[in-house]
Structure 1
Amino acid sequence: MKDDALAPVIAVMLILAAIVTFLSIYNAIYIPSMKESSEVEHLQNVESAFQHFSSDIDYAASSHQNHLTFSEPVQLGGGDFMFNLLRSSGTLSVVQDRNTSRMCENTIYNTIILNSTGSIIGALNDTLINFSYEPISNFWQDQGYTWQYGYLNVTKYGTLSTPLQYTNMSAVENATESGSLATFAESLAGVTYTMDQTEYPVYSPNSTNPSSYALSGNCSGLNLWAVNITADPDHSFISSNGYGTLKLTSNITSTSFSYLVTDILFQSDQEPFGDMTIGNLYNESFANVMCGNIKPNKTAYNPPLNQFGYQIDQSVSPVNVTLNIVEIQVEAY
């Protein structure tokens, strides 16, 4: 065979070898690199959506507004690019918070309202939720996100978890005592009051005519505020490689007990806010109620159990008590 006949064959073989080498490098290095880069961008989008929705919950809890609605789209799948459209997927879920170390694992505090006979005429068991994203067939790392108690955690491989915005759990505890998480805890319960504006006569000694008029220093109205965050039982989970949505709606229900209330009791647990318990927050809020006809109930006072109570003397000056519950329902779909 002549050399000039072999040359085209060798050239074709070299071209094929170059193409095979290029395709091998393309599949072994370029495609995984591009898919990892796309997956990182996807997880950044998830993180941003969770941060926005966390702010939505903070606002809904603190503003005490009726008929609020917020929604955030969450990218569940990623890792695709122009030359490889295969995507990962993920799950988005919302569940009621449970902690077996609490006295009642489903609630963070409870409020009981009593009348003069000791009968319960009103009650509330306050709850929280957590929501999470978990990846499926991720092209980078199995990194997910979970929101609980006002802050975000980054999760890895379904078992490891670390706070996103704090260096460690000690920093989380510090924020619970005096930082942003304390602000979130404070938004979950509170008390406002109205002073009796009736002017009563003040008499001088040995005088039948009033020398002046003054306010009694008693309350005429007491508003209890409580935030209850629940998961929508019908829309709490989605699995997809497209987009999911986190949505919250808030509604306020107000119950007036007229002038029947004589005792208010509340108790909370050390979990999840440590010393910044809802019971302590309620107690501090009541301590700012400067009314002569509302006094601490020493029998119910038990700080080690985060249990407190207040008595209302309806005979001195009637107090209209209203329980306002901000119901925040969170759903994933």
Structure 2
Amino acid sequence: MNDDAIAPVVAVMMILVVVVTLLSIWNAIYLPGFKQQAEVEHLKDVETGMVRFGAAIDNSIHFWRNGTMAEPIPLGGGDILLNSLRSGGELRIRQLPGAAITITIDGSPFTHGYLSNITYTPVSNFWLDQGYSWQNGTVNVTKGHTSVPITLLSKYEETQAQYLNNLRKPPDYSNSNHNVTLSFVNITPDGRFNTTSGNGIVQLKLNATIVRLLKEDVLSLTVNGVESELNYPVNVTIERLDIVLSVE
């Protein structure tokens, strides 16, 4: 056999061996590090979005007015130049069980105030299996059944206490306590758009609307089962700040 014919074949085989070796080194050593770093950056964007959206809810309660707001949340990430495989995620809004506030008039429930939470759960994230949740004014990092606040514990408890306190305003009395206005917050998920999954970018949305209800000649008024001391009969005005959360 001609040595001149064999030489190119051997050269090609050696090049293939080098290429395979380099790919093996890339996949075993460098790829995991780059993918993990890309996931760290992706989850940091999720955390930032959750914090900003939580602040928007706080602002809606503080300013007590109609308004809308949207915040982008990347469900998936982790793709790099030589590996476009992306992780995914699920974003879900849930109404918490039981009403936080119940207004009862003349023995019958008249209106309620509910609370909700928001959770981000990673899907197919092999590099950094970490999620986030927002509830009661604070953001937590989640992993499995473990949940840890992103702030110091003392700050976390202070923030939650302030948030829960702001959900209801002090009663406003007039006309020798014959007129009373009760103001509170009602946070609920949109019935149609409360969950989504995938690996793209979605929008967390907030729609705040003030709803006013009037009930005249009331003979009995209780808030969470506690009787209000008023000069009955009274005229009751309910000012409810409805905050509807959705994901699209």
- The answer to whether 1:263 aligns with 2:181 is no
**What CA distance in whole angstroms lies between the structure 1 residues aligned with 2:13 and 2:208?**
70
Q: Counterparts in 2 of 1:32-181, with a 5 A limit?
A: 32-66=32-66, 68-98=67-97, 106-114=98-106, 120=108, 123-156=110-143, 158-167=144-153, 171=154, 175=157, 179-181=158-160
**What CA distance in whole angstroms lies between the structure 2 residues aligned with 1:108 and 1:136?**
32
Q: Report sequence identity in percent.
A: 38
Code of the residue aligned with 1:143 in structure 2: it is Q
1:52 is paired with a residue whose SS is helix
Is the alpha carbon distance of 1:62 and 1:6 closer, same or farther for their aligned partners in structure 2, counting shifts above 3 Å? Answer: same
1:65 is paired with a residue whose SS is coil
Runs of 4+ aligned residues of structure 1 deviating over 4 Å after TM superposition are 1-14
Code of the residue aligned with 2:168 in structure 1: it is A
**What CA distance in whole angstroms lies between the structure 1 residues aligned with 2:221 and 2:201?**
46
Paired residues of 1:153 and 1:164 also in contact (CA < 8 A): yes
Number of residue equivalences: 248
TM-score w.r.t. length of structure 1: 0.67
Q: Counterparts in 2 of 1:219-234, with a 5 A limit?
A: 219=177, 221-234=179-192
**What CA distance in whole angstroms lies between the structure 2 residues aligned with 1:314 and 1:17?**
92
Paired residues of 1:113 and 1:263 also in contact (CA < 8 A): yes
**What CA distance in whole angstroms lies between the structure 2 residues aligned with 1:32 and 1:326?**
48
Which residue of the partner structure matches residue 212 of structure 1? none
How much does 1:223 deviate? 1.4
1:189 is paired with a residue whose SS is coil
How much does 1:166 deviate? 3.3
Paired residues of 2:139 and 2:149 also in contact (CA < 8 A): yes
Code of the residue aligned with 1:263 in structure 2: it is S
**What CA distance in whole angstroms lies between the structure 2 residues aligned with 1:80 and 1:138?**
11
1:107-160 C-alpha deviation (Å, 9 max, x unpaired): 22312133xxxx54x62222111111111111412111111122122111x322
Paired residues of 1:194 and 1:219 also in contact (CA < 8 A): yes
1:139-195 C-alpha deviation (Å, 9 max, x unpaired): 412111111122122111x3222222234xxx47x72xxx22222112211234355
1:74-128 C-alpha deviation (Å, 9 max, x unpaired): 1001010122211111111111112xxxxxxx222312133xxxx54x6222211
Code of the residue aligned with 2:122 in structure 1: it is P
Deviates more, 1:72-81 or 1:319-328: 319-328
Which residue of the partner structure matches residue 191 of structure 1? 170
Code of the residue aligned with 1:83 in structure 2: it is L
**What CA distance in whole angstroms lies between the structure 1 residues aligned with 2:202 and 2:86?**
15
Which residue of the partner structure matches residue 241 of structure 1? 199
Code of the residue aligned with 2:57 in structure 1: it is I
**What CA distance in whole angstroms lies between the structure 2 residues aligned with 1:42 and 1:139?**
13
Paired residues of 1:79 and 1:139 also in contact (CA < 8 A): no
1:140 is paired with a residue whose SS is coil
1:62 is paired with a residue whose SS is helix
Deviates more, 1:143-152 or 1:183-192: 183-192
Q: Counterparts in 2 of 1:309-320, with a 5 A limit?
A: 309-314=227-232, 320=235
Root mean square deviation, CA, Å: 2.6
Code of the residue aligned with 2:167 in structure 1: it is L
Q: Which runs of 5+ in 1 are unaligned?
A: 99-105, 197-217, 268-306
Q: Which has the larger radius of gyration?
A: 1
**What CA distance in whole angstroms lies between the structure 2 residues aligned with 1:149 and 1:71?**
19
Which residue of the partner structure matches residue 331 of structure 1? 246
Code of the residue aligned with 1:163 in structure 2: it is P
1:254 is paired with a residue whose SS is strand
